[in-house]
Amino acid sequence: MKITIHRGIDQIGGCITEIATDNSRILIDLGQNLPDGEGIVDDDLANREAIGKITQGIDAIFYTHYHGDHLGLFHYVPDNVPQYIGKVAKQVTLCKHRQLSYIKGRKKLSQEEISKLEKMSVLIPEQTINVRNIKVTPYFVSHSAYDAYMFLIEVDDKKVLHIGDFRGHGYLSKGLLPTIKKLILPRGKVDFLITEGTMLSRLGERVMSENELQREASQIMARYRNVFVMCSSTDMERLASFYAANKNLRNRPLICDRFQKNILEIFTQSAGNHTSLFRFDKVYDFNSKNTKLIHWMEDKGFCMFVRATDKFKDYYQTLVSRLEPKDTVLIYSMWKEYINDNGKHAIQRYIEFVSMFPNMEKLHTSGHASPEFLAEVCNLVNPTLGIIPIHSENSASYSKLPIEEHLQQRILTSSKTINKVEIKINQNI
């Protein structure tokens, strides 16, 4: 067996991992590099020729979730290579790309993306897919993208657990450790653990749970009548936190645009069948001509999901003359560095958008595992041969985690061969 980290060591995003035998080859994720603050993506693989080369001889591609830094290069993949993604993840991604098709000059690209997505095969949790002599079994994980998966890859007597992006502080996180204990480890010892380390650059930072975030959101909403919320439009658990906080106040409408409402309907029809927490059953899409809705917003207050786009700037301008500044707030629920003027990750359109509002409250928690939870997962899995950290700005920081001493010796950040398994780690491509 050969494990190749094409991309992911010492960088967040752009993840591409290959598992190969003499008979078959698969990829886990085909992610695009993250954009800079101006929205420009520097990625030498973002073209048909480069992806044609990296996917040559690949038998299947499996996506952990729908974020662009894991999925973003999917539309360059040749039609003869099967691609797999979660059922709900596929619906969310299709919804997103249908929305993108309305951007001027993007229609042809969107048609290509939608066509590729429609052809993708669907993952079924805990159902093994055989790719010649490689077995791939998906298991659900909690992340800021719903319907995300880790993969157990079995090749003869070797087992690799690629855990993807995950966290331990979401509403759905409590299932991860029991899944590993009851479903994965009984199948035999894991030899290699491939795991993220996003939060390693923020050692010592306290990670708030989604339950705590919901409680704080309720307190903010009790202080302000007119609440705008800027968060990821596809983070189901975060959307549920704000939806529940607003619902507790009674009679305040939850407002968004048609795209966001479509996403919420997807979550309601899937996760909402299992728990009322994810039933977004009373949501109203904004229309400046809907005077009945606007009068309701004026009378009772409201919560509106917004994005940093011209459309939402127009929505705000339509409403601003009706809003008392002291009663109006933007809750910013994204990474704080995006609106840090002096930071390397600053996004100018985000900075300009949040500056419109008379008051702002920052209320966010990461979609990624805390260092403490990373350590807990590593100690539980206890891989026999190696831990390969990806999706981290400094993979060497894994040595700072409180993991067992014998596991400290198994952290792999450079190429080597272990017990007849070739590990190839590309530093940058």
Q: Of the candidates 362, 377, 401, which is a domain's last residue?
A: 362
Residue carrying structure tokens 């966001």: 260
Q: Of the candidates 362, 389, 414, which is a domain's last residue?
A: 362
User: 382 and 265, same structural domain?
Assistant: no
Amino acid at 273: N
User: 239 and 136, same structural domain?
Assistant: no
User: 189 and 214, same structural domain?
Assistant: no
User: 327 and 218, same structural domain?
Assistant: yes
User: 378 and 353, same structural domain?
Assistant: no
pLDDT > 80? residue 85: yes
**What six digits make up the tokens of 47?**
């073209």
User: 124 and 184, same structural domain?
Assistant: yes
User: 180 and 75, same structural domain?
Assistant: yes
DSSP 243-260: HHHHHHH-SPPEEE-HHH
* pLDDT attached to residue 198: 87
Side-chain-facing half-sphere of 278: CA atoms under 13 Å: 21
- Show the domain range for 261: 210-362
User: 185 and 60, same structural domain?
Assistant: yes
Write out 51-119 in H/E/C secondary structure: HHHHCCCCCEEECCCCCHHHHCCHHHCCCCCCEEEEHHHHHHHHHHHHHHCCCCCCHHHHHHHHHHHHH
Distance in angstroms (rounded) separating the CA atoms of residues 28 and 330: 37
Distance in angstroms (rounded) separating the CA atoms of residues 37 and 16: 23
User: 130 and 80, same structural domain?
Assistant: yes
List pLDDT tens digits, range 14-68. Answer: 999 999 999 999 999 999 998 776 667 889 999 999 999 999 999 999 999 999 9
User: In the 8-state DSSP scheme, what is residue 235?
Assistant: -
Q: Of the candidates 328, 362, 396, which is a domain's last residue?
A: 362
User: 165 and 146, same structural domain?
Assistant: yes
List pLDDT tens digits, range 121-145. Answer: 999 999 999 999 999 999 999 999 9
The CATH number given to whatever domain includes residue 295 is: 3.40.50
Q: How many CB atoms lie within 10 A of CB 337?
A: 13
* pLDDT attached to residue 429: 56
Q: How many domains does the chain have?
A: 2
Contact criterion met (CB below 8 Å) for 395 and 197? yes
Distance in angstroms (rounded) separating the CA atoms of residues 40 and 168: 32
Q: Which residues pair with 288 in a beta bridge?
A: none
List pLDDT tens digits, range 165-179. Answer: 999 999 999 999 999
Distance in angstroms (rounded) separating the CA atoms of residues 383 and 319: 56
